[in-house]
Chain A
Amino acid sequence: MGEKLATRSAYGEAVTALGARDPGIVVLDADLSSATMTRQFSQVYPERFFNMGIAECNMMGVAAGLAACGKKPFASTFAMFAAGRAFEQVRNSIAYPRLNVKVVGSHGGLSVGEDGATHQCCEDFALMRAVPNMLVCCPCDGHEMRLAVEALAAYDGPAYLRLGRLAVETVTDSIPGYQFKLGEGAVLRDGADVTLVAVGLMVQMALQAAETLAGEGIDARVIDMHTLKPLDEGLILKAARETGAIVTTEEHNIIGGLGEAVAGYLGGACPVPVVRHGVEDCFGRSGKAAQVLAHYGLTPEGIAAAARRAAALKK
C-alpha cells in the first residue's frame, strides 16, 4: 500500500505533465477547476485552459470544435454534469463524429459524501457505455490514474474518464507484474474459487474482501477492470471458466454499469453465477463519504457477502 491520493488529484497532475510534452493538449472546465484539479494546468498553461463557466453543454460542444481542428481537449466537470447534463452533447457532438475529446467526470459515485444525491452520480457508466464509439475508463488509484491519462492522451478517439473525490490508498504500484493497458483488466490477486471484478474505489475494497474470504477458505481472484468499455472479455471468460463464479463491484447503480456489462457478456459466452454488487437502484444521501458508502453496503464486507452468495450458487 502506498500513498493516499484522490484520483482527481492524480488527474490534475497528470494532465499538467502532459501539457508540457504536448502543445496540442487543451483543458476545459466548467467552474470546477479547484475540484476537478485542473487548476494546476490552468496556472501553468493559461493560454490552453478554457474556463467555460457553469455551462457544461456548451463546454462539450466547444471541446468538439477544438478537436475538429486537431486539438486534444480534456473537458472536465463533475460526472453528474459531464455524463448527465451534457449527455446529448457528448453523444451527438463528440461520440457520433468520433472526435478526440476526453470527457472527464469527477466526483463519481457515492463517495462525494456530504453534497448528497444530486451530486452523487451513479449512472455515468450506464450513460457513457450506451453511446457508440465511447471508451469508458475509471482508474482505482492515483498511480493507475496517471497511467490512464497518459494512455488516453495517446488514444485518438472519444473517451469518458471517471475521477473520484475521495483520497484512496494507492495499491497498483505495489502489485508485482501490474501493467496498465486500456481495454485490458489487471489481475491484482489470483484465486480459484470466485472472481471479484471491481472498478474504481471498489478495487481496494475487493482486495480487502479477498483477504477476509481467504480466512474462510474461499480463494478469491481480484480483477481491476479499469476499462468498462471496451470490456476485456477474454479476461472475464478465463475467470468464469477457472473460478466458476463472478462478483462485480462498482460505485454505481447495479443497472447499466460493470455488473450488467459482465453479466451480459457471460450470459452468451459462459453462463456462471454473476452477483452484482453496487448501488441498488437508489439515490444516495449526505454524510461523510465512509458513512455513505457503508450505508449502501459498499464495503469490503458487502463484497465478501456477495462473494459467499456467488460461491454458494456454483453448485
Chain B
Amino acid sequence: MDQEKFKRLSLTAARGRIRAMEMVHRAASGHIGGSLSAMDILTALYFDVMRIDPARPKDPDRDRFVLSKGHCTPALYAVLALRGYFPQEDLKLFRSIEGHYSGHPDMNYVPGVDMSTGSLGQGISAAVGMALAGRLDRKDYRVYALLGDGEVEEGQVWEAFMAASKYKLDNLCAIVDINGLQIDGRTSDVMPSEPLDAKFAAFGCQVIPADGHDFRSLEAALAQAAEHRGGPSVILARTVKGKGVSFMENDAGWHGKAPNDEQFAKAMEELQAALEGWEGN
C-alpha cells in the first residue's frame, strides 16, 4: 500500500471516530468501545476493498457487508455517511425517535445496510445465505461479515461456519474484531474462546491473522481471503476496544456507555489531534 492510500484511509478512519463519538454523545447512548475497535476494519472495507456504489445501494452485483456485531452502528453509520450513502447530517438522528438510525441497523431504512442485525450470532448466518445466493446466481460478489470476539460465544456462529465450510463458500470472508473485552469484562474470564485460530481452522476456514488497526495488514489479509478457494476465510483482527481515546482503551466499561460532556470534550480533543496529525502529515 502506498503512503498516499495509507494516509487517505487513516484520515477517513480518524473522521469516522469523530463522527461516532459525536453520535454517541448526542444520543447519550450507544456502543462506543467496539465502534472504535472496528473503525479501521470498516474503513478498509468501505473505502478500499468492497465493490460498491453508494448511488446504487441495492445493486444486485454489489459486495455485501453484514455487521454481525450489530451494536456497532456508530462506526457503521459514520462510515456509510462518509462514503456517501446518506448525508452526514443524518448522523444526528442516531438512536433518535425522529429517524430510522436505530441502535442496531435496519436494512429497510438505512441506505447501505445489507442486513438487519443486532442479536449476536445471527448476522453471520445471513451472510452465509447471501454467499449461497451469489453462488446460485453465478455472481462474483463477495460477502463480508464483522463479528465480535464476544459474539463467537454464540453457538449459532459455529453452526454458520459448519455450513459455510460444507458449501465451500470462498466468496465469504468473516472478520473477527478481537478486542478481548465484552460487557462483563475480559472475554478470557467471561467465556474463554481461544484458541480462535485452531477453532476456525477446525471448522474448515482459512484463518488469517491481522492487525485490525493497520491498513497494510488489513489490505493484505483481505487480499489473501479473496484469493482463497474452496472454503470461507476468517480474518482474526487484533484490535483495541476504545481505540483512539486514551481513557476508553481496553476498558470494558466503555462497551455501551456514552461519555458525559467532560469526557466527550477530552475524547474529542484526542480524536481531533489525531485527525490533524494526519492532515499535517
Chain A residues in the interface with B (C-beta under 8 A): 26, 47-48, 50, 52-53, 55, 57-71, 73, 88-89, 92-93, 96-98
In the complex, whether B57 has a CB less than 8 A from a CB of chain A is: no
Question: 1/0 per position for B122-133, CB-CB distance to A under 8 A?
Answer: 111111111111
Q: A63 vs B64: C-alpha distance in the bound complex, in angstroms?
A: 16
Residues of B within 8 A of A92 (CB): 116, 118-119, 122
29 cross-chain CB contacts under 8 A: A47-B136, A52-B159, A53-B162, A55-B156, A57-B121, A57-B155, A58-B128, A58-B163, A60-B125, A61-B125, A61-B156, A62-B128, A62-B129, A62-B160, A65-B66, A65-B130, A65-B133, A68-B114, A68-B126, A69-B60, A69-B137, A71-B133, A92-B116, A92-B119, A92-B122, A93-B119, A93-B126, A96-B116, A98-B108
The B111-166 residues at the A interface (CB cut-off 8 A) are 114-116, 118-119, 121-134, 136-137, 155-156, 159-160, 162-163, 166
B108 near A64 with CB under 8 A, answer no
B107 at the interface (CB under 8 A from A): yes
Interface centre among B108, B130, B133, B167 (most CB of A within 10 A): B133
Q: Do the beta carbons of B133 and A89 come within 8 Å of each other?
A: no
Contact of A89 among B106, B107, B116, B156 (CB under 8 A): B156
Cα-based distance from A70 to B139 in the complex (angstroms): 13
Q: Whole-angstrom distance between the alpha carbons of A52 and B107 in the complex?
A: 25
A-B contact count (CB 8 A): 109
Min CB–CB distance B193 → chain A (angstroms): 18
Given A55-B162, A58-B160, A92-B122, does the pair A67, B116 have CB atoms closer than 8 Å?
no
CB distance from B55 to the nearest CB of A (A): 20
* Nearest Cβ on chain A to B81's Cβ, whole angstroms: 21
CB neighbours (8 Å) of A55 from chain B are 156, 159, 162-163
A96 to B: closest C-beta gap in Å:
6
Specify which chain B residues have a CB less than 8 angstroms from the CB of A52 in the assembled complex.
159, 163
Return the chain A residue nearest B68 by Cβ: A61
Q: Which of A48, A53, A70, A89 contacts B125 (CB 8 A)?
A: A89
Check if B130 sits within 8 Å of A50, measured CB to CB.
no
A47, closest chain B residue (CB)? B136
A26-B60 Cα distance, complex, nearest whole Å: 18
Known contacts A58-B125, A62-B128, A68 near B115 by CB under 8 Å: yes
For B60, list chain A residues within 8 Å (CB): 69-70
Closest to A55 in B: B159
How far does the Cβ of B56 sit from chain A's closest Cβ, in whole Å? 15
- Once A50-B132, A53-B163, A71-B136 are accepted as A-B contacts, the answer to whether A62 and B125 lie under 8 Å apart by CB is yes
A61 touches B107 (CB 8 A): no
Distance between Cα atoms of A70 and B137 in the complex (Å): 10
Which of B66, B106, B160 has the largest count of A CB atoms less than 10 A from its CB?
Answer: B160
Collect the chain A residues with CB atoms within 8 Å of residue B123's CB: 61
Distance in angstroms from B69 CB to nearest chain A CB is 14
- What separation, in Å, do the CA atoms of A66 and B115 have in the docked complex? 11
How far does the alpha carbon of A26 sit from the alpha carbon of B133 in the complex, in Å?
10
Residues on the A chain within 8 Å of B64, using CB: 69
B156 touches A69 (CB 8 A): no
When distances are taken between beta carbons in the complex, the residues of chain A under 8 Å from B129 are 61-69, 73
